Amino acid sequence: MIERNVEAGRKTLIWSNFVRNLETLERMLQRYRPALIHGGIPSEISDASAPRTREAELARFRTDDACQVLLANPAATSEGVSLHDVCHDAIYLERTFNAGQYLQSIDRIHRLGMSPDQDTQITFLVMTNTIDEVVDGRVREKAERLGDMLNDPDIVTMALPDDEDYGPAIDSEADIAALFAHLRGGEGDAPAR
C-alpha cells in the first residue's frame, strides 16, 4: 500500500498504539524516510534541546518530499495536528476501544470543507477471528452512538470533544462483555446499550 501511494505521489500515515510496532516499522520502511511520533518523542515545549521532537517530525513529513510515511501513535498525535493538506491515506495497524481517539485520528487527514473530489483512503487491518473484530465492532457502535447524539451521520469527518463529555473510552460493561465473549469463542458481540 505504501509503495503504491509513493508511486502515485501520495504520503501515508500509519497509526499504531504500540511503540514497538512504530519503531520496528521505522526500520522496515527506512527507504521512505519515515517520520515518527509517539509518547517517547518529546515536544519542543517539554524538551527543546531533544535531537528529535514531535514538531520537527511533523514538519519533516509535511515539507520533505523524501519523507513519504508518518508513523504515529493516536495518543501522541491528537488535537492541533492537521495533515489534510499533505496526506490523504491512513493505515490502522490496530485500534483500541477508544472511539473518540479513533475519530480524532481520522480528523488529522479528513476535514470538513475539503474539496468533495478529494479522495481520502482509510484502511483498517482487521484479522478474521481475532480481537481486532471485537474492537472494530465496538468502535463502530460507539461512533454511531456519538453521531446519533450529535444528530450527525457524518461524525467521522469531525474532531470530537474529550472522552469525558461522552463517557469513558472503555464502557466497562459492554466492552468487557465483548472482550470475554471473544475469548470464550463467541461472536464477541455485547448487548447494545
In a domain, 93, yes or no: yes
> pLDDT at position 79, please?
58
Task: Give which of 159, 181, 184, 176 is closest to 74, Cα–Cα.
Answer: 159
Q: What is the DSSP letter of 107?
A: T
Partner residues linked to 119 by β-bridges: none
Residue 182 pLDDT: 76
Residue 46 confidence class, pLDDT cut points 50, 70, 90: confident
Is residue 122 situated within a structural domain? yes
In a domain, 134, yes or no: yes
| Average confidence (pLDDT) over 15-20 | 92
Q: How many domains does the chain have?
A: 1
Q: Is residue 131 part of a domain?
A: yes
CATH classification of the domain holding 103: 3.40.50.300
Q: What is the mean pLDDT of residues 78-92?
A: 78
- Position with higher pLDDT, 118 vs 33: 33
139 contacts: CB under 8 Å, gap ≥ 6: 95, 97, 98, 99, 102
Rg (CA), the chain: 17
In a domain, 108, yes or no: yes
- For the cut 70, the answer to whether the pLDDT of residue 188 exceeds it is no
Instruction: Report d(CA 144, CA 131) in Å as an integer.
Output: 20
- Sorted by sequence, the CB contacts under 8 Å of residue 118 that are 6+ apart come out as 88
Inter-residue contact 87 to 118 (CB < 8 Å) = no
Three-class SS of residue 99?
A: helix
First to last CA, the chain: 37
**Stretch among 42-51, 54-63, 65-74, 92-101 having the lowest mean pLDDT:** 92-101
Note down the domain range covering 109: 2-183
Instruction: Confirm whether 25 is domain-assigned.
Output: yes
For residues 162 and 100, is the Cβ–Cβ distance under 8 A?
yes
Q: Considering only 16-20, 104-108, 130-134, 140-144, which range has the smallest mean pLDDT?
A: 104-108
189 inside domain: no
